[in-house]
Amino acid sequence: MTPYCICFYDGKSSKSFYLTDYKDSQEMLKFAISSLLKRKYKGYKIYVHNLSNFDGIFLLKILSSINHIKVQPILKDGKIINLKLNYDSINSYQINFRDSFLILPSSLRKLAIQFKVDNKTLFPYNFVNDKYNKNIDLNYIGSVPLIKYFINISLEDYNQYKLLFNKNWSLKDESIKYCNQDCISLYQIIHKFNILIYDKYHINIHKYPTLPSLAFGIYRTHYLKDYPIPLI
């Protein structure tokens, strides 16, 4: 597997990185990570959906190759609970990568529907899969990919999707658009979830990296009272 598109959204603006603009995927990843190592992002929690099982593999490889940063992972049962990056030894900045799947264990599409946020758009995943489409040009511009390259899509939805394109379909433009929409949706989901939990329990979810830790925090804050927790 090779990463070919990376995006992030900070609540105000999106930024994207596409493989054909760089020498290779490693250079693209370095540029993407470096763009986050800024003073304005000091103390930020950066959520990646399914970080532990997928994206974290690529991140850990690239982080170990970047100079002047110190990586401090917290692992539990083989999963990345938190990935802290310390950078700039003079001013000592830090950011934290979190796996949003560990606090909201569901697919991004389902979460978007449940939280009523901007939904995921359609994308032909298999169009960039060597198993189905050998040696695809990442700068492909042409007809909308055939329905066989989409996953779990009806003919009606496919035809509606095709109508969106009066001119040629661009793999680069649509990849970036799709990736950006994922980031915006995830941001809105986490924002809404945090408001929901804070309004009900006066607890900030960003202090808790997993759903069990959040549940335990709510229990200790509101229901434990004067009873000690027995040592098991």
Domain holding 121: CATH number?
Answer: 3.30.420
Q: What is the C-alpha to C-alpha distance for residues 185 and 50, in angstroms, rounded to an integer?
A: 14
Residue 231's pLDDT is 64
In a domain, 209, yes or no: yes
Total structural domains within the chain: 1
All residues at 6 or more sequence positions from 30 whose CB lies less than 8 Å from its CB, including other chains: 62, 65, 66
Residue 11's pLDDT is 93
Residue 89's pLDDT is 62
In a domain, 76, yes or no: yes
In a domain, 229, yes or no: no
Residue 64's pLDDT is 78
Question: Measuring CA to CA, how many Å separate 38 from each of 41, 72, 146?
Answer: 6, 18, 42
In a domain, 225, yes or no: no
Instruction: Report DSSP state, residue 11.
Output: S
Task: List the domain range (segments joined by +) for residue 18.
Answer: 5-220
In a domain, 227, yes or no: no
In a domain, 103, yes or no: yes
In a domain, 19, yes or no: yes
Residue 157's pLDDT is 92
Instruction: Report DSSP state, residue 14.
Output: E
Residue 158's pLDDT is 94
Q: What is the C-alpha to C-alpha distance for residues 32 and 3, in angstroms, rounded to an integer?
A: 12
Question: Measuring CA to CA, how many Å separate 39 from each of 43, 82, 92?
Answer: 9, 20, 10
Residue 18's pLDDT is 97
Residue 150's pLDDT is 95
Q: What is the C-alpha to C-alpha distance for residues 134 and 157, in angstroms, rounded to an integer?
A: 26
Under-50 pLDDT residues of the chain: none
Instruction: Write out pLDDT tens, residues 199-218.
Output: 999 999 999 999 999 999 99
All residues at 6 or more sequence positions from 216 whose CB lies less than 8 Å from its CB, including other chains: none
